[in-house]
Chain A
């Protein structure tokens, strides 16, 4: 375990448009991985949980509350962007200059940014699903005047 390193890659996107790519291992470097450039940002993501739905095990990302980061995630929350975090594992005995081609994907999470909270200096981003655990959503459509007018009274 001592020779295992973990790096995380975070991507904020919507459809085919990617708004931000961050990595948290190569300090103050922008590295290339999977043909994309990833800036350094000191975030930590935890809660790579896969399993039964409804267990309340949302993933969380902790970021320093810099002005840019706050603005970025405020917009992500407002505009319903998706956030994907991938966690890779590699040997720390090998080169640490750039991502190793042999690093292994050991965890991945994709979710909507469902909540942001924290302090003035640290923010915790919660990833999850916008499927509300309460409230009626189905069937999706209801009778309205537009659809059926003022219905017959029997």
Chain B
């Protein structure tokens, strides 16, 4: 049985990201601390990804690269300090920075070179500081780094000098990156910097796991990229916080008015608003693809869940974004978005986009969506419907109409009549289709209310001044110098030896099943079964006159009452064909002469005063080997004496050698006395069905065998004919060399 559970309908708004409430509000994450101490790389940290593309004076990101190596030296007379730092800018290849975009503290100072996939410049890390009389001693780091390969990393070699006593030598270096890591942009299929969240997401999906390309819906991704591009939703940020990719996709997509969607098992982004073919928000009347009525919905196939009051209350969305001037550091900005006359004094909900959003309009539109969906999106539906024409055409994101009659009053019929967006489709093998739908509010003109509000929302366009008026700490003309930094790739001066420790495990052989079986331990609760001892024939077969007894140690209990049973040779347990031949406490059984071919069982019962006969349930032994006839030997011949057989047919089963068999039929009914039978030839087989059957009717019957005989002596069962095994009883093995 396969049981499936559906998520509660009340979770749908949360699963779709329609309703998300921040759990905590913190300082703007896009803020950069300027006058701080230079940071160093720590092994294990994520390598940052600088992802941005400045277009039309919008975008770019201010980063503070960490150092991996340093070289510190001073002038022996002036004590001027020279600091060289190897800095990591970003994973991947960044286009060359502009000269005006490199700072130490807030000042454009120093010189630099930039390279990709290698170290920059050839200087060796080290502390070469010497003490200069009368000057301040430079207390520079002594662990200066060892150098690495910098594979697929963009690095910067920064050089600056500091006069004696300058305390700014260890301050943080900053870079304003206008063009971030190069990726293949999905919209124009070109390698270069990008500000499209879809490009970043695809890069991370492909790099972060072995995610199959076949499970990416690239068409939908391209549509989403077109949507963000057309509406100015750009990513200009530093990505360096360790995240779960799925979580990150879910959370970041909401800030671009996208949602993560699985369509046919393929992952994609989908706009949260209706869009035109060119990616712009669709503000014309919405048409729907199908109308569901009572004819389609199955009994009990209608569930409705309203969004809770807490998620519907009017709020003022405080949108935090980053104003990014062309020639200075970014400024954190806040824009409040609310409906006119609502939430004038809160509640306030902070939505921090400052890490990547450098456009006021982007922030305002996201805020408008958050505020508007609280006001207008009221509920979700789950319909269970029978298949119809829509079965092969309805897809995620389609707009449908649900129009149901509500007949709860005698003289009036009302309608549940709304438009919905198809959020989830579940098609089952039974044919029943389950749709999860989210309310899609429209106005009297048939336009999407959310789409109109978001499309019309725009920022004030006001740009705040940076508050900085003094650029005297900059090297002259640096502020306007857009020339790129020089590049000078160098091999690593001292590659780590050894590099990262590696242990490559050898391929093991194919896993194999375990070897020979090992008997399981006996169950201490279940009693042993009695075993039969005393048979002196081959394999313990009882011979005439053998005294059979329960083997020592196999008694189930003390004072066991033994019953001895004689059964046909094909018996595997005591059955009605068996005959009880002996019984008693610790009783034994002496095998009789005429038992050849029969099997012996012993049944042991333990004393039980509560039982009517004083003994408990039976414990039956395994059957003994078939009782064997007596063989007596005389020089050159072997005598087999069978007693108690009146009429029988005897055969020698397939053997491997010739034999001569003398049958002493004296006293038998045929009265022919002793006769010799020879079958086969040396090395040839003896076939049982080749007319070799010897049929006699006498008791006792003596066989005298000479020569070589290997095989089994079997006896035809009375009333049977033909060669089948079921027609014979085993008498005993013959092996006369």
Q: Are B91 and A145 in contact (CB under 8 A)?
A: no
Distance (whole angstroms) from the CB of A128 to the closest CB of chain B: 8
A54 CB contact (under 8 Å) in B44, B212, B239, B260: B260
Task: Name the residue on A nearest B146 (C-beta).
Answer: A149
User: Is B109 among interface residues, defined by CB-CB distance under 8 A?
Assistant: no
The reply to whether B265 and A152 form a contact with Cβ atoms under 8 Å apart is no
Please measure, in the bound complex, the distance between the C-alpha atom of A84 and the C-alpha atom of B494, giving whole angstroms: 50
**Contact: B246 with A133, CB < 8 Å?**
yes
CB pair A140–B204 under 8 Å, yes or no, is yes
> Does A10 sit within 8 A of B, measured CB to CB?
no
Instruction: From B15, B37, B212, B500, give the contact of A146 (CB < 8 A).
Output: B500
Asked whether, in the complex, the Cβ of B42 is within 8 Å of the Cβ of A150, the reply is no
Is the Cβ of A143 less than 8 Å from the Cβ of B47?
A: yes
When distances are taken between beta carbons in the complex, the residues of chain B under 8 Å from A28 are: none
**A87 CB contact (under 8 Å) in B48, B205, B427:** B427
Q: CA of A49 to CA of B265 in the docked complex: distance in angstroms? A: 8
The residue from B38, B207, B428, B501 contacting A140, defined by CB atoms under 8 A apart = B207
Q: Is B244 an interface residue (CB 8 A)?
A: yes
* Bound CA–CA A44/B1 (angstroms): 12
Choose one: B239, B262, B428; the contact of A139 (CB below 8 Å): B239
A151 and B42 contact, CB distance less than 8 A: yes
B145 close to A109 (CB less than 8 A)? no
CB nearest neighbor in B for A104: B392
Chain A nearest CB from B325 CB (Å) reads 27
How distant is the Cα of A135 from the Cα of B49 in the complex, in angstroms?
Answer: 19
Residues 430-463 of B, flagged 1 when their CB comes within 8 A of A and 0 if not, give 0100001000000000000000000000000000
B side interface size, CB within 8 A: 92
Q: Are A45 and B88 in contact (CB under 8 A)?
A: no
| Cβ-defined contact, A152 with B261, below 8 A | no
Partner of A138, one of B44, B70, B243, B428: B243
Q: How many angstroms between the C-alpha atoms of A108 and B427 in the bound complex?
A: 10
Min CB–CB distance B496 → chain A (angstroms):
4
Per-residue CB contact flags for chain B residues 60-77 toward chain A (1 = under 8 Å, else 0) read: 000000011110000000
Considering the chains assembled together, what is the distance between the CA atoms of A147 and B153 in angstroms? Answer: 9
Contact A139 B261 (CB under 8 A): no
Chain B's nearest CB lies how many Å from the CB of A54?
6
In the complex, are the beta carbons of B67 and A48 less than 8 A apart?
no
Q: Which of B182-190, B418-426, B642-650, B703-711 contacts A (4 or more CB under 8 A)?
A: B418-426
Tell whether A101 is near chain B: CB-to-CB under 8 Å: no
- The answer to whether B496 and A146 have CB atoms under 8 Å apart is yes
Q: What A residues does B499 contact at CB under 8 A?
A: 145-146
Q: How far is the CB of A103 from chain B (nearest CB, A)?
A: 10
- Residues of B within 8 Å of A130, CB to CB, are 209-211
Residues from chain B with a CB closer than 8 A to the CB of A129 are 211, 215, 262, 265, 267
The distance from the CB of B117 to the nearest CB of chain A, in whole angstroms, is 11
Interface residue B535 (Cβ < 8 Å from any Cβ of A): no
Contact string against A for B residues 386-414, beta-carbon threshold 8 Å, 1 for contact and 0 otherwise: 11000110011000000000000000000
Question: A142-B46, A154-B39 are known contacts. Are A136 and B242 too (CB-CB below 8 A)?
Answer: yes
Q: Whole-angstrom distance between the alpha carbons of A38 and B419 in the complex?
A: 41
A59-B265, A138-B243, A140-B208 given as contacts; is B427 within 8 A of A146 (CB)? Answer: no
**Which 9 A-B residue pairs are closest in the complex by CB-CB distance?**
A51-B424, A149-B146, A110-B265, A153-B143, A146-B499, A148-B148, A104-B392, A152-B145, A53-B260
For the A-B complex with A105-B392, A129-B267, A151-B68 known, give 20 more contacts whose Cβ atoms are closer than 8 Å. Answer: A45-B429, A46-B2, A52-B424, A53-B262, A57-B424, A110-B265, A132-B209, A136-B244, A137-B209, A137-B245, A138-B239, A139-B47, A139-B204, A139-B240, A142-B44, A142-B46, A147-B153, A148-B68, A149-B69, A151-B69
Can you list 5 A-B contacts (CB < 8 A)? A47-B426, A53-B246, A60-B2, A129-B215, A143-B47
